[in-house]
Structure 1
Amino acid sequence: MCGRYAVTTDPARLATEIDAINEVTGLPRSETPPQQPLDGLATGDQPPSRWENYNVAPTSTVLTVVDRHAPDSGATGPDVPARRIRAMRWGLVPPWAKEIGKGALFNARAETAATKASFRASVKSKRCLVPMDGWYEWRTATGDDGKVKKVPYFMSPADHTRLFMGGLWSVWHPTDADPSDPPLLSCAILTADAVGPLREIHDRMPLIMPVQWWSAWLDPDAPAPADMLAPPSPALADAIEIREVSPLVNRVANNGPHLVDAVS
């Protein structure tokens, strides 16, 4: 599964990196806003971006990448979908839901999503990418005192590049909403069977989406090839560095770059 991750980009920077249109306005909303420590900043240093979050949890507002047609497409002829950066709630709310709920749909199993009522419409035409620096997972271990405990690990690319995970998204309108109110955009991160050394930490992992697959994955006018929903290749898994990190990450209110530092 993927229930916590870190990301250090913002909408404008991400849009520049991948040549996309930035449709994000304002700052992220979260039930547990990141508490970025500002102590220790040298003179002239910039404080962390409000989008920089080392402990992203479900129900947070997160960045996503989609390919969508312009709102007025078709009026003046054929339209090619454009790559766009959008902010969404992490925890997919199906269009038919009567209320938002508690955010339990933050993950979707890649091998069964197309058959699940909550996800199958999104699999057809609302697929996205979720950018992140890396994700956390917990492995069960026995301590020196003989007690079972959960040990946190952080998985990230060894070359420090950014990861993009396959995801699904949805549009939801409250039943009593004003017609002029914007809908809620929400998403879920796809997971697959873990491969390679990642299996030693957890039996599931987020679905890494290599850049050469982006266009086909994001295409709103065609179904995604079935092989894109398969577990990542061993080569992708081998490029992921695994390190044990501090149990401070267990508390969502904790935030900052120290959370991804390896423990000695």
Structure 2
Amino acid sequence: MCGRYTLFTDKEYQDIRKIIRAVQEKGHEVKTGEIYPTNPAPILVWEGKETVPQAVKWGWPKFQGSGVLINARAETAEEKNLFRKSVYTRRCVVPTTGFYEWDQEKVKYRFILPHASTLYLAGLYNEFQGERRFLILTTEANTSVSFIHSRMPVIIFREMIDTWLEDTEKAVHMLHWQQPELHIATQ
């Protein structure tokens, strides 16, 4: 599960700074720092013939009771009525500077992609009462994460962003790719 992630804007996070600037130029604000469910955050979507950033709230409203759905299992998203159409037509990428997981003693760890300042996560979006919302796709954790948690986000490499957003056949295949090894941030 991915229940929090980071969106740092320090000088070394040029990709994130560029995405946030593009969203702000459209007149929208997004939260930075530690991102919680229901916070507005930038996502990347396919519009026309290009990838564009948008400010969108994290979490799909639950239809039974309060709260939000923040994750969907990549292994079964294609089969579930709630996610199927989004898998085929409303994919997004969630730019981050890492995500958090907690161990059984409630110690928080931030996972990052080695040698990259930005970690891109696979997501889906949908419209709810005229408001766009997103969630993050997760998969079984590989050995770099599994000692902390059994799930991890589906990682999209920077060079595969347009493919994930635009090419449905390849995107469905990417849901089942082996995930890259991650590191725990020392800061």
Structure with greater strand percent: 2
Class of the TM-score when normalised by the shorter of the 2 chains: 0.7 to 0.9
Structure index of larger Rg: 1
Q: Tell me, what secondary structure is at the counterpart of 1:111?
A: coil
Residue of structure 1 in register with 2:39 after alignment: 60
1:210, CA displacement in angstroms? 1.2
Cα 1:225–1:185 shift into 2, 3 Å: closer
1:152 is aligned to 108
**Ranges of 4+ aligned residues in structure 1 off by more than 6 Å:** 20-23
| Corresponding position of 1:38 | none
What's the C-alpha RMSD, in Å, of the aligned pairs? 2.7
Structure 1 residues 205 and 222: alpha-carbon distance in aligned structure 2, compared to 1, 3 A threshold: closer
* 1:203 alignment counterpart: 150
The residue matched to 1:158 in structure 2 has which SS?
Answer: coil
> Which of 5, 8, 13 is residue 18 of structure 2 equivalent to?
13
Could you list the per-position Cα deviations for residues 152-211 of structure 1 after superposition, in whole angstroms to 9, with x for gaps in the alignment? 1111123242011000001122xxxxxxxxx20100000011112211111100110012
Tell me the residue number matched to 2:12.
none
Select 1:129's aligned residue among 73, 93, 112: 93
Of stretches 3-12 and 118-127 in structure 1, the one that deviates more from structure 2 is 3-12
Counterpart secondary structure, 2:146: helix
CA 84–198 in structure 1, closer or farther in 2 if over 3 Å, else same: same
SS in 2 for 1:120: helix
Q: 1:198 to 1:185 in 2, by over 3 A?
A: same
Where 1:215 maps in the other structure, the secondary structure is: helix
Distance 2:4 2:29 in 1: 20
Which residue of 181, 188, 193 corresponds with 2:140?
A: 193
Change (3 A) 1:161 1:169: same
Q: CA deviation at 1:58?
A: 0.7
SS at match of 2:2: coil
Is the alpha carbon distance of 1:230 and 1:24 closer, same or farther for their aligned partners in structure 2, counting shifts above 3 Å? farther
Cα distance, 1:117–1:101 mapped onto 2, change above 3 Å: farther
- Partner deviation per Cα, 1:57-86 (whole Å, 9 max, x = no partner): 1111111001112xxxxxxxxxxx221100
TM-score (norm 1): 0.61
Does the C-alpha gap of structure 1 residues 52 and 223 become closer, same or farther in structure 2, counting only changes over 3 Å?
same
Q: Is the 8 A contact 2:8 2:16 kept in 1?
A: no
Aligned partner of 2:19: which letter? L
Q: 2:67 aligns with which of 94, 102, 113?
A: 102
Aligned pairs, number = 182
Residues 195-232 of structure 1: CA deviation (Å, up to 9, x unaligned)? 1221111110011001232222101x744443300153
TM-score, length basis structure 2: 0.84
